[in-house]
Structure 1
Amino acid sequence: MQHGPAVRRRKLGAELRALRATARLTSGEAARAVGWHQSKVSRIETGISGVKPADVRLLLDAYGVGDPELRELLVGLAGSEGNGRHHWWHAYRGVLPPTYRDFISLESQASGMRTLETSVVPGLLQTPAYARAVTRAALGGLDDRKLDALVEVRLARQDVLRAEPPLELSAVLDEAVLRRTVGGPEVMERQLERLLAAAHLPHVRLQVLPFSAGAHIGITGPFVIFSFPTTSDLDVVVLDHMTSSLYLERKEDLHAYSEAFNTLLIHALSPEETLDYIAAVRDGA
Structure 2
Amino acid sequence: MRHSPAVRRRKLGEELRRLRDRAGLTSPEAARLVGWHQSKVSRIETGRSAVKPSDVTRLLDAYGVTDPQLMELVDALTGPPAHEGGRHWWHAYRGLLPPQYRDLISLESQASSARTLETTVVPGLLQTPDYARAVTRAALAHLPATKVDSLVEVRIARQKVLRAAAPLELSAVLDEAVLRRPVGGRQIMKEQLRKLLAVAELPHVRLQVLPFESGAHIGLTGPFIIFSFPNIVDLNVVVIDHLTSSLYLERKEDLKAYDAAFNTLQAQALSPQESSALIARIGDVR
In the other structure, the counterpart of 1:75 is 78
| In 1: Cα distance, 2:42 partner to 2:196 partner | 47
In the other structure, the counterpart of 1:243 is 244
| In 2: Cα distance, 1:252 partner to 1:159 partner | 32
| In 2: Cα distance, 1:242 partner to 1:211 partner | 26
Q: Number of paired residues?
A: 280
Contact 1:236 / 1:248 at 8 angstroms: preserved in 2?
yes
In the other structure, the counterpart of 1:90 is 91
**For residues 85 and 221 of structure 1, do their structure 2 counterparts lie closer, same or farther at Cα, with a shift above 3 Å needed?**
same
**TM-score, with structure 2 as normaliser:** 0.89
* Residue 237 of structure 1: how far off its partner (Å): 0.5
Contact 2:227 / 2:237 at 8 angstroms: preserved in 1?
yes
Note the aligned Cα RMSD (angstroms). Answer: 2.3
Counterparts of residues 154-233 of structure 1 (less than 5 Å): 154-233=155-234
Tell me the alpha carbon deviations over residues 154-173 of structure 1, each in whole angstroms, 9 at most, x when there is no partner: 00000111112100100000
* Residue 44 of structure 1: how far off its partner (Å): 2.9
Contact 1:172 / 1:207 at 8 angstroms: preserved in 2?
yes
| In 1: Cα distance, 2:38 partner to 2:221 partner | 45
Deviates more, 1:266-275 or 1:64-73: 64-73
Tell me the amino acid that sits aligned with residue 3 of structure 2.
Answer: H
Tell me the amino acid that sits aligned with residue 64 of structure 1.
Answer: T
Where 1:233 maps in the other structure, the secondary structure is: strand
Contact 1:235 / 1:254 at 8 angstroms: preserved in 2?
yes
In the other structure, the counterpart of 1:25 is 23
Where 2:116 maps in the other structure, the secondary structure is: strand
| In 1: Cα distance, 2:107 partner to 2:51 partner | 17
Tell me the alpha carbon deviations over residues 214-263 of structure 1, each in whole angstroms, 9 at most, x when there is no partner: 11001011001111113111111111101111111111111111110011
Tell me the alpha carbon deviations over residues 25-77 of structure 1, each in whole angstroms, 9 at most, x when there is no partner: 22336444423456644553343544344322322444236678655522228
| In 1: Cα distance, 2:266 partner to 2:145 partner | 39
| In 1: Cα distance, 2:101 partner to 2:135 partner | 16
Tell me the alpha carbon deviations over residues 70-128 of structure 1, each in whole angstroms, 9 at most, x when there is no partner: 55522228xx7475443111100111111111111111111110000000000001001
* Residue 142 of structure 1: how far off its partner (Å): 1.4
In the other structure, the counterpart of 1:139 is 140
Q: Percent identity?
A: 70
In the other structure, the counterpart of 2:3 is 3
| In 1: Cα distance, 2:237 partner to 2:215 partner | 28
Contact 1:3 / 1:99 at 8 angstroms: preserved in 2?
no
In the other structure, the counterpart of 1:64 is 66
Contact 2:15 / 2:74 at 8 angstroms: preserved in 1?
no
Q: Does 1:269 align with 2:270?
A: yes
| In 1: Cα distance, 2:224 partner to 2:216 partner | 17
Where 1:171 maps in the other structure, the secondary structure is: strand
Contact 2:240 / 2:247 at 8 angstroms: preserved in 1?
yes
In the other structure, the counterpart of 1:252 is 253
| In 2: Cα distance, 1:42 partner to 1:26 partner | 16
In the other structure, the counterpart of 1:100 is 101
Counterparts of residues 33-48 of structure 1 (less than 5 Å): 33-36=33-36, 40-48=40-48
Tell me the alpha carbon deviations over residues 148-189 of structure 1, each in whole angstroms, 9 at most, x when there is no partner: 100000000001111121001000000001000011111111
Where 1:9 maps in the other structure, the secondary structure is: helix
Deviates more, 1:44-53 or 1:235-244: 44-53
* Residue 280 of structure 1: how far off its partner (Å): 1.0
